Amino acid sequence: MAAHRLVVASLLLCCLAQICYGKVLFSSLKRTLDVTASPKQGQVLLSGVDKISGTWALNKTFPAGTDSSYKTIKLKLCYAHISQLDRAWRKTVDDLSKDKTCQHKMVAMPYDAANKTVHTFEWLIERDVPQATYFVRAYAFDANDVQVAYGQSTNANKSSNLFEINAISGRHASLDIASVCFSAFSVLSLGVFFYIEKRKGKSQKQ
């Protein structure tokens, strides 16, 4: 009897856990956060040099208690549609566990329901951010680190307030020089060996 109860209890627990850790669909999230970002439409920023700043706040039109489960706000840099073309590794998928739209974490901040002011953030664009067109999105996470709401700096179609980031090339003068040196060494040493052996061959024949 006790064993039977244990099985039922654990099954129930698993089901509840499944509800907690199950698939979260983006379409099920409400856009309760207002997010703004400093770059204007079409502005070009440099990675490693420029900063993205902005604000986020809970939209006051939502009833009180909407934000009761929010524990953390994470701001992410997301690809605009034009940068997702022909690049399946940046695809937008409704299932958030498979969604690849927002691959760059900017800032994470704790959420305090009592503090209703507008929060600001600032982030230096890291040097591993690729050349692309972006917008900013904020996800609200609950205590189990599951997304419960979002907000973004662009419209629902993801067509306004998009900005570009110019990436670093990754090239360095020192790398280029090293590359040329090793290449020259390779070709020269081949030539030298060949020449020496030809000369040895000739002198042996004599």
Partner 1 sequence: MADIEGSPGSSMHGVTGREQTFISSVASPMVPTDTTAKFALPVDSEHKSKVFKLFSLANPHMRTFHLSWISFFTCFVSTFAAAPLVPIIRDNLNLTKADVGNAGVASVSGSIFSRLTMGAVCDLLGPRYGCAFLIMLTAPTVFCMSFVEDAAGYIAVRFMIGFSLATFVSCQYWMSTMFNSKIIGLVNGTAAGWGNMGGGATQLIMPLVYELIRRCGATPFTAWRIAFFIPGWLHVIMGILVLTLGQDLPDGNLGALQKKGNVAKDKFTKVLWYAITNYRTWVFALLYGYSMGVELTTDNVIAEYFYDRFDLKLHTAGIIAASFGMANLVARPFGGYASDLAARLFGMRGRLWTLWILQTLGGVFCIWLGRANTLPIAVLSMILFSVGAQAACGATFGIIPFISRRSLGIISGLTGAGGNFGSGLTQLVFFSSSKFSTSTGLSLMGAMIVACTLPVTLVHFPQWGSMFFPPSKEISEEHYYTSEWNEDEVQKGLHQSSLKFAENSKSERGKRVASAATPPNTTPTH
In the complex, the residues that contact partner 1 under the rule CB under 8 A are 85-89, 127-128, 130-132, 167-172, 175-176, 178-180, 182-183, 185-187, 189-190, 193-194, 201
Distances (CA, A) of 99 to 69, 73, 138, 171, 189: 23, 18, 15, 31, 52
Q: Which is nearer to partner 1, 21 or 182 (CB)?
A: 182
Task: Please give the Cα distance from 57 to 35 (Å, whole number).
Answer: 7
Q: Residue 46 or 190: which CB sits closer to partner 1? A: 190
Cβ of residue 5: shortest distance to partner 1, in angstroms? Answer: 33
- Residue 89 CB, nearest approach to partner 1 (Å): 5
Q: For the CB of residue 52, give the shortest distance to partner 1 in the complex, in Å.
A: 18
In eight-state DSSP terms, residue 25 is B
> Are residues 149 and 32 in contact, defined by beta-carbon separation less than 8 angstroms?
yes
Cβ-based nearer residue to partner 1, 69 or 166: 166
Of the two residues 40 and 205, which places its CB atom closer to partner 1 in the complex?
205
Query: Which residue matches tokens 């060996």?
Result: 193
Closest separation in Å from C-beta 127 to partner 1: 4
Q: Which CB, 55 or 166, lies closer to partner 1? A: 166
Q: Are 82 and 133 in contact (CB under 8 A)?
A: yes
- Does residue 25 come out as left (phi exceeding 0), alpha (psi in the -120 to 50 range) or beta? beta
**Min separation Cβ 131 and partner 1, Å:** 5
Rounded CA-CA distance 71/146 in Å is: 10
